[in-house]
Amino acid sequence: MTANSDQTFFRAFTIVLGVLFLITIVAIFGARMITNWNANDGMRPEQLTRVKSRTEPVYAVNTDPNATSLAAAGGDSGGEPMSGSEVYNNVCSACHASGVAGAPKTSDTAEWKKRLSEQGKDTLYKRAINGYKGMPAKGGNPDLSEEEMHKAVDHILGESGAA
């Protein structure tokens, strides 16, 4: 009886092992077939470009000998002062074009006329430079010179039609 049940067990066990072995072989060859279908070990070109763009270094050493002299000549701070409209377009328009955070819109002639007549231009300059309530000092760009700020305020006043 024990010998008989041992035999049954071994037969079943061998069948199970055999089936598992077959499945393994099928899986191995199946995987081979799928991956070798294109007979291509490398990546497709579009995959390569994607990998390249994702693994690009976030900075690069600039070996251009003119680069440092350009920076010394001013870059964006120090050198040529920006015109009023340049400062406005780069910095001020972020808020004053659409009235973000309660900023008086550049197009709002009446509002600018009121501010100009109630406070005078010097106060407008001063508040634009030093900040005032929702208005950050120099529009949030400390690199701007006072002269550039004056020109930017003049530009806003001109655009609004208040001056």
Query: For residues 60-99, which are near ligand HEC according to CB under 6 A?
Result: 87, 91-92, 94-96
Of 82, 106, 139, 159, the one binding ligand HEC (CB under 6 A) is 139
Burial label, 107 (beta-carbon count in 10 A; 0-12, 13-18, 19+): middle
Burial label, 99 (beta-carbon count in 10 A; 0-12, 13-18, 19+): middle
Dist CA 43 CA 52 (whole Å): 12
User: Among residues 119, 127, 126, which one has the least CA distance to residue 103?
Assistant: 127
CB neighbour list of residue 155: distance below 8 Å, 6 or more residues apart: 83, 84, 85, 87, 88
According to the binding rule CB under 6 A, does residue 110 interact with ligand HEC? no
Which CB sits closer to ligand HEC, 45 or 102? Answer: 102
* Beta carbon of residue 138, minimum distance to ligand HEC (angstroms, whole number): 6
According to the binding rule CB under 6 A, does residue 129 interact with ligand HEC? no
* Beta carbon of residue 80, minimum distance to ligand HEC (angstroms, whole number): 17
**Binding stretches for ligand HEC (CB under 6 A):** 87, 91-92, 94-96, 100-104, 115, 119, 123-124, 127-128, 132-136, 138-140, 149, 152-153, 156
